[in-house]
Structure 1
């Protein structure tokens, strides 16, 4: 009986995810073609094969439907693995943080239900309706703060600690660039390979010695 209930719950959630994705796909397609003001909720419902009531069960506005739902809960086992820190050091980040961030990112992405085609649909909609970029930027800023708090919790440091702030910013920049490459039309490489290449490139830069002496201005040649 318990297994049946679990299976039924999983099936319902999959159906909900499929419906949500179908609504977003239609909303993005219509936005890319006509802009947000170029179609009605009723037209989106007709193309998605749903009722107006169903639409509003999933999304409050057309803009919400276009943005979609990319904030699924993080896998619990991935979070548990990330938070295990065997070499936490006082007052500084641990030596295992970079590897932990890599494993965590791959675990989350490889279980994500968001497909490359969904991302490309969103990009096309944003190009047609630039006002959506502001919404995505705001949501990105919220996720960046949450990411810094997640790292801070693992490391036992404050979220505004300089090393936590930079770890979140630099790793976030690497994963952002990796996602841009992975979701591009011409890409044929797995996300894992792209991420590792970009992380190695970043490590090459930051492994360089930092000369903090002031640069002397060059004197004009006589």
Structure 2
């Protein structure tokens, strides 16, 4: 299990409240008017902040949907795994812990569904997701390179990382497009099992 994170200071808690207010306002406006018809200045007004504040937290409108202040949780959890564990074993455990934390509440799961619905229906959000996954892949490759002694540019390592990211993406898409009753962490673990055992 990952170690509990220290309680955030006052400044970080205020920043988190601002992020949540912007995101909540955006999702409400997206539901009312549609993603494309919603302007950033309207999101700012609804969240009671300035447009420049929105852009400080989220450089693009797509980032309101996709950007997460917890983006580094997976790398942190993976680095905390015992060094002797095989890469896939360590990664499965890290993903399981992080997913359980991120989607532990009904509210978090509902937000994930709204996010992935936008990914499936808005081309700009889907394109931004692919860019974000590329960034995540580079960070994950660096973490795995440190664990395995390989270069981040090693072909086998890059193939492994690409397969992991594809498994995570397809788990999320399958979960939302099929309105899957299985909790998302269990569905992700099932996808990673497929990488371990193959199709049978």
The TM-score, its normalising length taken from structure 2, stands at 0.73
Q: Which residue matches 2:186?
A: 193
CA distance in 2, matches of 1:158, 1:170: 17
Name structure 1 gaps, 5 residues minimum.
1-5, 87-94, 209-222
SS in 2 for 1:158: coil
Query: Are the counterparts in 1 of residues 133 and 165 from structure 2 also a CA contact under 8 Å?
Result: no
CA distance in 2, matches of 1:46, 1:123: 25
CA drift of 1:56 comes to 4.5
Q: Is residue 2:87 matched to residue 1:97?
A: yes
From the superposition, tell whether residues 69 and 198 of structure 1 become closer, same or farther in structure 2 (CA, over 3 Å).
Answer: closer
CA distance in 1, matches of 2:78, 2:134: 21
CA distance in 2, matches of 1:148, 1:201: 20
SS in 1 for 2:9: helix
- Larger CA deviation: 119-128 vs 158-167: 119-128
From the superposition, tell whether residues 161 and 66 of structure 1 become closer, same or farther in structure 2 (CA, over 3 Å).
Answer: closer
CA deviation string 1:155-209 (max 9, x = no partner): 0011222321222122222222223344557223233432333333333327x9x
From the superposition, tell whether residues 145 and 60 of structure 1 become closer, same or farther in structure 2 (CA, over 3 Å).
Answer: closer
Q: Which residue matches 1:177?
A: 170
Pairing partner for 1:117 from 110, 115, 121: 110
Query: Are the counterparts in 2 of residues 31 and 125 from structure 1 also a CA contact under 8 Å?
Result: no
SS in 2 for 1:85: coil
CA deviation string 1:100-152 (max 9, x = no partner): 11111122222337922222333344455422322221111121122122111
Q: How many residues align?
A: 191
Query: Are the counterparts in 2 of residues 67 and 122 from structure 1 also a CA contact under 8 Å?
Result: yes
Matches within 5 A, 1:45-56: 45-52=44-51, 54-56=53-55
Query: Are the counterparts in 2 of residues 152 and 158 from structure 1 also a CA contact under 8 Å?
Result: yes
Root-mean-square deviation (Å): 3.3
Find the structure with the greater CA-based Rg: 1
Query: Are the counterparts in 2 of residues 29 and 121 from structure 1 also a CA contact under 8 Å?
Result: no
Query: Are the counterparts in 2 of residues 24 and 68 from structure 1 also a CA contact under 8 Å?
Result: no
